[in-house]
Structure 1
Amino acid sequence: MRKSYSYQTPWPGYWFIFPALLTMLALIAYPLVFGMYISGYDTNLINKWKFVGLQYYIQAVTDPDFLHKLGLTFKFAFLVVAGNMVIGTLLGVLLNMDIRFRLLFRAVLILPWLFPEVVVALLWKWMYNPLYGLINYILQSMHLTQDAIPWLDNPGFAMWGVVIACIWKGYPLVMILILAGLQSISKDLYEAAEIDGGNQWQLFKNITLPGLMPVLLVTLILETVWWFKHFTIVWLLTAGGPIDATSVISIDIYKIAFENFRFGRAAATAVIVFIICFLISYLYRRFLADDDK
């Protein structure tokens, strides 16, 4: 005869989530806590552990070079996020229309997001090459320039070259999110507004934009956090050069840690970047709270 229990303990549920919890602790919580720990030490991670407290934090926030690179990082993130938002939103709106070969365009336009960042960086490095690069060939063929432009070797062009490559990599994510947001808006709202005599601008202002606002806010914050701490494409294209023209904060952290072997100072800088990203995330939650109210 099967026994019946009026009360069941919650332990089976805890055991089900235990593997995921353990994975998160090992891959997220432990590196984060350990990074904060070593930021208070002058260490080589082997046999040198000299406690310095908040010294590296004070050095970072009072170092003009660090503040310059932090400003450069904000500039880089702003340009990439702005480009992604504009291009991704426009393409999302176009792909939401009833046009021919819409599925084909969706498949082609999402390809840059599917490529690994290493592939994207090498592809654009080839196209930027001043001797045999595709971009200079097109510009010279159209008689827009006479001489080849050293995109990644000129301090005036290097940042723009990196930004364009990152926008090409990043716009598909915005496009997909905007497209999903547009498709979640009920068509009945548009039909009712058209019956009431609303024009296209009124439809966009009063239906499309409010319906997209939650998606736009989430996309904007996630994009900002992602590109603020980006490393791979910038490193492979310019390694922070020329003359530190593209030396964003992630490049600086890498050089401090693995070229100068100042792991404590690098960890302190990384913690500062984490705090900045956390503040951005906090603003994101504040926006949602205000929206819910």
Structure 2
Amino acid sequence: MSVQRSTVLFAWLLLAPALLYVTVIVAYPLVQTFILSFTDASLKRTTEWVGTDNYERIFNATFATVIGRTFLWTFFSVVLKMGIGIFGAAMLNAAVPGRALFRLLTMPPWIVPMAIGIFMWGWMYNGQFGMISGLLQNFGITDGPVAFLAQGRTAFWATVVTDVWIGVPLVTLYMLAAMQSVPQDLYEAAWTDGAGRFYRFRRITLPLIVPAIITMSMLSLIATFNSFDIIWILTRGGPSGTTTTMIIDTYSTAIGSKRYGEGAARAVMICLFLSVFCFAYFRLVSRLSGGMKR
């Protein structure tokens, strides 16, 4: 065997575990879901091919509202997480006394098991004995109890706040690592020229951490778009569907109503949306990389 052929064979052997994982864990279930979306699969023993009926059925006014609500929920959650995370990282990166303690205090929302944290927020949102409602009444802001999870508008924002609380620590730590990778001599040169703290942050820090911001935004977008636990534990998509996102609608259709074919079609739609996001992300990263090389 030639040296070149043995090198290629060795490379394929190294790639084999990853290829096996992608084929068995990712590709096969994805293909099966796509095939299932063209059937009327349910609890009945026989399954018939229905073509695009499942897709035609979900493209109605209700599903369009669910799509719009999903995009709004994802947009506000990601924007708030990124904004608070970048601001928090900038504060933690500053040379202030007790910086190590402040960094440690950012971890609890991420360390606490997600279900426990969500249940905690559910208790705080309770109108009768919740802490938030009690504080609003004590300060005279409201005249009576406020049941945040029982009203559509407040329930929507309550789930957003909970998602932001859970997601901010990861964004903060990621942005902090990106900021610490910025060469210190750039700050020293700017400080020597009389540049203020805000000017240095705007002209040095932000431009150099743009790739990290884009990467973290994309990861956060995918995780938020597919977020199930927060909404399901707090509201189960209610009240009256005001917090129903695409992932909640897919679960309710496939598992709750046992209409597996329609649920698979909804899952395929989610996959398509996220594929578009990923494609846009890679195009943006490639453009940024090309600009930096030039």
Q: TM-score when scaled to structure 2?
A: 0.92
**1:209 aligned residue:** 206
Map of 1:28 onto structure 2: 26
Secondary structure at 1:118 match in 2: helix
User: What pairs up with 1:115-264 in 2 under 5 angstroms?
Assistant: 115-264=112-261
Local SS of the residue matching 1:50: coil
Report the counterpart of residue 56 of structure 1 in structure 2: 54
How many pairs were matched up? 289
**Structure 1 SS opposite 2:242:** coil
- Deviations along 1:92-116, whole A, 9 cap, x unmatched? 1000011122112112212212222
- Measure how far apart 1:221 and its partner are: 1.6
Take 1:154 and 1:271, find their aligned partners in 2: how far apart are those partners? 31
Aligned mate of 1:40, from 22, 38, 55: 38
Is 1:11–2:13 an aligned residue pair? no
Gap change, CA 1:26 and 1:116, over 3 Å in 2: farther
How many Å separate the matches in 1 of 2:89 and 2:163? 18
Identity %: 32
Secondary structure of 2:40's partner? strand
Deviation at 1:7, TM superposition (A): 6.0
- 3-state SS of the aligned residue for 1:230? coil
Structure 1 pair 35–203 and aligned structure 2 pair: CA distance change class (3 A): same
Aligned partner of residue 42 in structure 1, secondary structure? coil
Please point out which of 59, 66, 71 is paired with 1:69: 66
- C-alpha distance in 2 between matches for 1:199 and 1:154: 46
Unaligned runs of 5+ in 2: none
Partner of 1:268: 265
Structure 1 residue 12, shift from structure 2 partner: 4.0
Over aligned residues, Cα RMSD in angstroms?
Answer: 1.8
- CA contact under 8 A between 1:120 and 1:233: conserved in structure 2? no
| Secondary structure of 2:48 counterpart | strand
Amino acid corresponding to residue 239 of structure 1 in structure 2: R
* Alpha-carbon distance between aligned partners in 2 of 1:263 and 1:59, rounded to the nearest angstrom: 14
Find the aligned partners of 1:94 and 1:42 in 2 and give their Cα distance.
54
Structure-1-length-normalised TM-score: 0.93
Q: CA deviation at 1:145?
A: 2.0
Residues 106 and 169 of structure 2 are in contact (CA less than 8 Å); yes or no, is this contact kept in structure 1? yes
Deviations 1:18-76 (A, max 9, x none): 33432332222221111111011111276322111222223223x11000011011111
- Per the alignment, residue 84 of structure 1 pairs with 81
Following superposition, the deviation at residue 223 of structure 1 comes to 1.2
Match of 1:277 among 261, 265, 274: 274
Counterpart of 2:188, as a letter, is E
- Amino acid paired to 1:42: D
Aligned AA (2:30): L
Q: Which residue of 1 aligns with 2:285?
A: 288
Amino acid at match of 1:146: D
Q: 2:108 aligns with which of 92, 100, 111?
A: 111
1:120 match: secondary structure = helix
The 2-side partners of 1:241 and 1:71 are apart by 16
Distance 2:286 2:10 in 1: 34
